């Protein structure tokens, strides 16, 4: 018997490049709202927005002005979007820039349940600082909340953000803790990592017997234009098969129906979790090399 969960990503280009940080932030929020409403009207059950959805990917420069884009979680953004979650009975994953105390910032994803209640948050664990233009250690402290699984109205979900996808331990921990659908909101450009975009996560879906949704923004962002975000947001099933894939250059809602019964079918066939030998994997926890 099928257990269908309709899931979606919003992939979007930046709304505004000039003005104050507050104006740039608000423009991007306003650009998202009609698409959130559209997703709700389409009957989407779980909606995921892109990494730090409320602005450009500012990590391609190092400027303290962007610290002012951060806010408390829960806070103003979660309160605003909880109204849409409740109205459309739609779980919303909100990747935002979080401040805890003055000078301490995280790359965070908040989860709003279908009744509008704030369920909790995930903080990006692995923080890159690589050329060209991913100077994230200037902006984010590594996450300290582990890998929580959120029991929403429709499914148990887990989140890891962008660079976390290169570390298979993230997906494995979430799957072992009961997550059925993993979401990876991202901001990644053509070049260095694009060949991995459709390679790593289908393989992780197979290895863990879960659905995975990967989300990426689109377009060149002024004034930097350091690389083009190539969209191509997608969902894959526990066999690693693509259910849907977005365009490379268009603002859009990418929707897929996920049949949760497939998880048991795939796991009963492969039995990877039965045949694990965690007592033999101690070296992976050592500080090597």
Q: To the nearest 10°, the Cα dihedral for 9, 11, 88, 177? A: 30
Query: How many angstroms from the chain centroid is the CA of residue 79?
Result: 19
**From the candidates 162, 170, 221, 252, which is the catalytic residue?**
162
Is 25 marked active-site? no
Question: Token pair of 21, please?
Answer: 């940080």
**From the candidates 51, 98, 136, 200, which is the catalytic residue?**
51
State the DSSP string of 44-102: -SEEEPPTTTTS--GGGS--GGGGGG-B-SSSHHHHHHHHHHHHHT-EEEEEEEEESST
- In angstroms, the Cα distances linking 178 to 84, 94, 165 are 27, 21, 18
Is 170 marked active-site? no
Contact criterion met (CB below 8 Å) for 15 and 28: yes
Is 51 marked active-site? yes
| Nearest CA among 45, 47, 41, 40 for reference residue 3 | 45
Question: Token pair of 280, please?
Answer: 């033999």
Return the DSSP state at 249. S
Residue where the block lists tokens 């602005």: 55
**From the candidates 25, 59, 124, 200, which is the catalytic residue?**
124
- Positions marked active-site: 51, 124, 162
């Amino acid at each position: 018997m099928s257990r269908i969960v309709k899931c979606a990503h919003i992939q979007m280009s930046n709304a505004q490049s000039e003005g104050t940080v507050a104006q740039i932030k608000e423009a991007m929020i306003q650009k998202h709202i009609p698409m959130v409403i559209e997703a709700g009207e389409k009957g989407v059950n779980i909606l995921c927005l892109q990494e730090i959805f409320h602005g450009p990917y500012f990590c391609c420069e190092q400027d303290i002005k962007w610290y002012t884009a951060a806010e408390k979680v829960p806070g103003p953004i979660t309160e605003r979007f909880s109204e849409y979650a409740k109205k459309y009975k739609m779980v919303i994953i909100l990747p935002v820039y979080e401040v805890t105390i003055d000078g301490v910032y995280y790359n965070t994803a908040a989860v709003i349940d279908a009744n509008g209640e704030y369920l909790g948050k995930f903080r990006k664990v692995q923080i890159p600082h690589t050329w060209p233009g991913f100077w994230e250690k200037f902006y984010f402290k590594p996450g300290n909340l582990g890998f929580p699984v959120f029991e929403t109205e429709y499914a148990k979900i887990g989140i890891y953000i962008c660079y976390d996808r290169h570390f298979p331990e993230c997906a494995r921990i979430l799957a072992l803790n009961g997550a059925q659908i993993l979401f990876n909101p991202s901001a990644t450009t053509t070049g260095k990592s694009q060949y991995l975009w459709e390679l790593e996560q289908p393989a992780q879906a197979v290895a863990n017997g879960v659905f995975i949704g990967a989300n990426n923004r689109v377009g060149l962002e002024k004034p930097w234009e350091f690389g083009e975000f190539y969209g191509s947001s997608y969902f894959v099933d526990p066999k690693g098969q693509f259910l849907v894939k977005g365009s490379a250059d268009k603002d859009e809602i990418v929707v897929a129906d996920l049949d949760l019964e497939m998880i048991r079918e795939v796991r009963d066939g492969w039995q990877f979790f039965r045949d694990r030998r965690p007592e033999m994997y101690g070296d992976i926890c050592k500080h090597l090399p």
